[in-house]
Chains A and B, each alone.
Chain A
Amino acid sequence: GEDVEQSLFLSVREGDSSVINCTYTDSSSTYLYWYKQEPGAGLQLLTYIFSNMDMKQDQRLTVLLNKKDKHLSLRIADTQTGDSAIYFCAGCKYIFGTGTRLKVLA
């Protein structure tokens, strides 16, 4: 069946860049999404990329899509303590990754 995989944890120092990776099996999604979940809250859309794009930049966020390898990544530049959260990648068919818990150390 369809699957989306992410590593469970990532720890970075404040000011460094964070890279969160995701691999997926279903290549039919028109869009691929990154959601952020802060403690005690639901998910909020962070950014997305259209499947015919390789890269999208949105302020501190850069999304890279490698369709050949079915690999999606989210890079957060100048990571801040407020970026500490769980990050989920998702395609169009309601399949979410396991989520990556990002911890930012001051």
Chain B
Amino acid sequence: DVKVTQSSRYLVKRTGEKVFLECVQDMDHENMFWYRQDPGLGLRLIYFSYDVKMKEKGDIPEGYSVSREKKERFSLILESASTNQTSMYLCASSFDQGLEQYFGPGTRLTVT
């Protein structure tokens, strides 16, 4: 069975902290994605990666960076967390660009 896991379901951090969100997929997918989900705004793409060490900015990359050192793992980094980064973060993967995505359960991040 296809699986995408995220390191935490809930996370509370203070303003200015460095935050790491980890995502692991076991399907040998080339493509991995980070989205944030906010009420009334749907899903917005932060970054995606189409191969190890490769990344592309999505629609809202400001304040975020990513790392893909291994094919199965894609990390989202908030260098200095701010309250406007309080959100639900969803990781996804897909075999090929344009094909269906498989999502993790999400991490609800609160920055106080």
List A residues at the B interface (Cβ < 8 Å).
Answer: 4, 6, 8, 29-31, 33, 35, 40-45, 48, 88, 92-99
Residues of B within 8 A of A94 (CB): 33, 45, 48, 58
Is B106 touching A92 in the complex (CB atoms < 8 A)?
A: no
Per-residue interface assignment for chain B, residues 73 to 112, with 1 indicating a CB less than 8 Å from any chain A CB and 0 otherwise: 0000000000000000010100001111111111000000
10 contacts between A and B (CB under 8 A): A29-B98, A31-B99, A31-B100, A41-B105, A42-B92, A42-B103, A94-B58, A96-B35, A97-B42, A99-B42
Task: Please give 12 more A-B residue pairs, beta carbons under 8 A apart, in addition to A43-B101, A96-B42, A96-B43.
Answer: A40-B106, A42-B4, A42-B92, A42-B103, A42-B104, A42-B106, A45-B101, A48-B100, A88-B42, A94-B48, A98-B40, A98-B41
By secondary structure, the A interface counts as loop
A99–B33 CA distance with the chains assembled, in angstroms = 18
Count of interface residues, chain B, beta-carbon cutoff 8 Å: 22
Interface residues of B in 29-54 (CB under 8 A from A): 33, 35, 40-43, 45, 48
